[in-house]
């Protein structure tokens, strides 16, 4: 069913001013820092103990388990990031460190393949007793993904051999005619499909399909389980079927509900399974769920999961900016989902959301120094309210250093180091450029093609693709035209091209290509006013600003403390200029004429408040919070 496949990390080399800086940050700072965190070496940071848990389980150390029931997953995601990092930049010292961690994991694994330090160390009598809350399948799933990453990126089998034993245990235990089960927190489904692809063992695919098919069947597993189990970890309500996405079979679901990350991982697995089995029912469900999320439940930044209660989806169009949740992991999950849908169907709507997540909702989760992270990603921060009042307690006005529940930081790390696998795709006769990222990519199309990309995206709309072939080759070159752009040109070998097909947001150029041919896509990149659907009540009367794929915001550092008193003039000219933002570097900044309401000292008045003209300054949203603690707004009143 796949329309195209993405290139592997070994086929893509990124050399890009925007993304290389972020990858360098992850490789040089984030990955070493996160290891130190997990090894409890950073003074003042939230205790992790994640590595020590494995050492205790392996008999290398003595002590008690510490942390969340899913603490193992921090190590797994870190290892996955390391695998991609080593593919980008070999580092013998880092590789040896990862090998030592993998060796410890192997020692901790029990004879039957079971590996979960919470139950090995803390509660061995309750293995598999609480699928609803205990996260065993989730943790093993993340570790399987790390194992696949080491195999695909580096050709190394050590972790794969360990986790195949764990996967075999899962497949032997769960399924029709065996123990009934599926995970409370979806993840194992994605992992088993990836494991199937790298090993060819169909039982892994079959078990992933079983977990998807069994979900939503009656009687509900978690309700039945709760009647007899004598373990409760989070005191979750087994009758809240929507929270766990068990309210109906997955093929019948048409609205995103419940925990946003769990949902996103499940939808990703559904799309993956559809591609492997040509299951039209799964694909149709994915299309319905995609449409509901992107047209009714997504923030302008790509954030999803509007409510702190259960880190969940809310109701259609209910997208508050100040008590938002929009977990970083949920944006990562949406990037996964978008990539899988784009593999199934080459449509611009999927590439648009992938781009939106990457340039906004994901990288906003990490401080520019790589050592502080957001869990939730607000679109409005009010000093004295955000993080202070109980209903705003989850809104941080600045990124914390670490979390007791630290799922997001290593998730960002593994996504950014694997970015090369999101940029390019190919089919038998077509090269697909999905994202505008500088570097080089090698394709098998037409006997072998190499494309080198030069761009200053997202700050400049011009991207040049240089084609290298040994001899003239016939193939199609397809380039995504982002949905935000209404004025663009395609230039082939220096001349504007007028003969092309525009299909579902992609320009298709079908010709005989020669060595040295160039394709340029020139996107007009004027700043744009954006307005929300009137059913999004939080944004009524407000405007937001974008330039290209980048959402902008207004920070206290540039506009003063009273951001709530600012209004943008509807007819005010939008201007762009480059400006240095403290130690962050130089960036395109938006300015627009507006007004500041003058505080009369009265709570209410029968006269409109006086105003003074001001110039409002907006900076890229993902950079906010890097220049000290203060207020911030994405949506601002318009007059």
Residues known to be catalytic:
311, 407
Say if residue 379 is preceded by a cis peptide, omega within 30 of 0: no
Q: Rounded distance, CA 271 to CA 24, Å?
A: 31
- Which SS3 state, helix, strand or coil, does residue 628 take? coil
- Rounded distance between C-alpha atoms, residue 124 and residue 132, angstroms: 17
**Nearest by Cα to 107 from 152, 159, 72:** 159
Cα separation of 37 and 47, whole Å? 7
Distance CA(262)–CA(236), nearest Å, equals: 15
Q: What is the DSSP string of 277-318?
A: HT-HHHHHHHHHHHHHHHHHSB-TTS-B--BTTTTB--STT-
Structure tokens at 92: 């013998």
- C-alpha of 418 from chain center: 11
CA dihedral for 484, 458, 633, 326, sign (positive or negative): positive
Cβ atoms of 13 and 20 within 8 Å: the answer is no
Neighbours of 331 (CB within 10 A): 34
H helices present in 89-220, as ranges:
92-108, 117, 136-154, 158-173, 188-199, 202-214
C-alpha distances (whole Å) from 268 to each of 5, 143, 209, 285, 508 are 15, 17, 13, 11, 27
H-helix segments, 26-157: 31-38, 50-58, 72-88, 92-108, 117, 136-154
Contact partners, residue 283, CB within 8 Å, separation at least 6: 1, 271, 274, 344
Cα 212 from Cα 426, distance rounded (Å): 28
């Amino acid at each position: 069913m796949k329309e195209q496949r993405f290139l592997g990390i070994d086929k893509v080399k990124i050399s890009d001013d925007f993304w290389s800086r972020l990858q360098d940050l992850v490789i040089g700072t984030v990955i070493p820092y996160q290891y130190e965190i997990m090894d409890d070496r950073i003074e003042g940071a939230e205790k992790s103990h994640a590595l020590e848990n494995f050492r205790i389980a392996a008999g290398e150390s003595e002590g008690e388990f510490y942390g969340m029931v899913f603490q193992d997953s921090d190590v797994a995601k870190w290892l996955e990031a390391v695998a991609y990092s080593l593919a980008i930049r070999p580092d013998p010292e880092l590789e040896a460190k990862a090998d030592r961690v993998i060796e410890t994991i192997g020692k901790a694994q029990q004879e039957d393949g079971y590996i979960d330090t919470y139950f090995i160390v803390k509660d061995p009598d309750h293995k598999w007793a609480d699928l609803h809350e205990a996260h065993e399948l989730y943790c093993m799933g993340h570790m399987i993904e790390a194992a696949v990453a080491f195999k695909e990126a580096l050709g190394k089998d050590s972790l794969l051999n360990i986790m195949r034993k764990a996967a075999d245990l899962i497949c032997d235990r769960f399924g029709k005619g065996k123990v009934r089960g599926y995970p409370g927190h979806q993840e194992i489904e994605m992992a088993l499909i990836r494991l199937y692809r790298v090993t060819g063992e169909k039982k892994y695919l079959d078990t992933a399909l079983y977990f998807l098919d069994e979900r939503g069947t009656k009687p509900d597993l978690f309700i039945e389980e709760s009647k007899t189990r004598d373990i409760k970890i989070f005191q979750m309500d087994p009758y809240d079927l929507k929270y766990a996405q068990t309210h109906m079979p997955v093929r019948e679901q048409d609205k995103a509900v419940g925990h946003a990350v769990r949902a996103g991982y499940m939808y990703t697995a559904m799309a993956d399974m559809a591609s492997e089995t040509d299951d039209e029912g799964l694909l149709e469900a994915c299309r319905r769920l995609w449409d509901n999320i992107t047209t009714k439940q997504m923030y302008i930044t790509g954030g999803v999961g509007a409510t702190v209660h259960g880190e969940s989806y809310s109701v259609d169009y209910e997208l508050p900016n100040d008590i938002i949740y929009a977990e970083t992991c949920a944006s990562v999950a949406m990037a996964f989902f978008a990539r899988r849908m784009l593999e199934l169907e080459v449509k611009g709507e999927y590439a648009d959301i992938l781009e939106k997540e990457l340039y906004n909702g994901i990288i906003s989760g990490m401080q520019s120094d790589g050592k502080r992270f957001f869990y939730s990603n607000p679109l409005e921060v009010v000093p004295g309210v955000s993080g202070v009042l109980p209903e705003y307690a989850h809104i941080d006005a600045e990124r914390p250093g670490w979390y007791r529940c630290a799922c997001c930081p290593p998730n960002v790390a593994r996504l950014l180091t694997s970015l090369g696998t999101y940029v390019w795709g190919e089919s038998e006769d077509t090269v697909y450029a999905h994202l505008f990222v500088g570097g080089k990519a090698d394709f098998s199309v037409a006997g072998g093609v190499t494309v080198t990309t030069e761009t200053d995206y997202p700050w400049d709309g011009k991207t040049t693709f240089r084609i290298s072939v040994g001899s003239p080759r016939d193939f199609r070159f397809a380039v995504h035209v982002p949905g935000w752009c209404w004025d663009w040109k395609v230039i082939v070998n220096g001349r504007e091209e007028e003969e092309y097909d525009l299909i579902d947001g992609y320009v298709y150029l079908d010709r005989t290509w020669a060595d040295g041919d160039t394709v340029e896509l020139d996107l007009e990149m004027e700043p744009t006013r954006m307005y929300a659907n009137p059913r999004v009540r939080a944004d009524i009367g407000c405007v937001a600003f974008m330039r290209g794929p980048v959402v902008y915001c207004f920070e206290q550092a540039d506009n003063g403390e009273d951001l709530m008193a600012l209004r943008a003039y509807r007819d005010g000219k939008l201007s762009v200029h480059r400006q240095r933002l403290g130690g962050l570097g130089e960036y395109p900044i938006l300015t627009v004429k507006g007004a500041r309401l003058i505080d009369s000292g009265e709570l209410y008045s029968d006269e409109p408040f006086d105003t003074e003209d001001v110039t409002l300054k907006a900076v890229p949203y993902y950079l906010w919070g890097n220049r000290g603690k203060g207020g911030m707004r994405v949506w601002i009143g318009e007059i």
